[in-house]
Amino acid sequence: MCQQVDAEAPLEACGLLAGRGNRVEAIYPIANALKSPVRFRMDPYEQLQAFEDIEKSGLELVAIYHSHPGGPETPSPTDIAEWRYDVSCLILFPSGHQWQARAFWLEAGHAAELELYISEM
């Protein structure tokens, strides 16, 4: 994810995380069809391909990620208003020369931060 968001900055990058339970086992980078530094919309064809691969692999959608190259570190009002999935929202943001991540549960117009455990895959 960090390589993707770094390569696509200053535009927002996005993708899907798949796995079992809350454990991520696969990363699916998806093109940002909006090509915007402040918004994202996954390319529908790439998103469908990823969903098909996730299902074929016996995995489930765990989270949707996207970057905020210019901040904030939290979901934007647009992120919250447009969220449609019952999965975590992972936001990647720059901190010095590295990307950091925070996870949130978005529901009913609110964002609640989740604990995030990161380990090498």
Taking alpha carbons only, the member of 29, 28, 33, 31 closest to residue 55 is 28
From 8, 12, 52, 55, active-site residue: 12
Over the stretch 90-119, which tens digit does the pLDDT of each residue have? 999 999 889 999 999 999 899 999 999 887
Residue 74 scores a pLDDT above 60: yes
Over the stretch 7-65, which tens digit does the pLDDT of each residue have? 999 999 999 999 998 899 999 999 999 999 999 999 999 999 999 999 999 999 999 99
Question: In CATH, what number does 2-114 get?
Answer: 3.40.140.10
Q: Where along the chain do its domains lie?
A: 2-114
Told to judge if 8 belongs to the known catalytic residues of this protein, a careful annotator would answer no
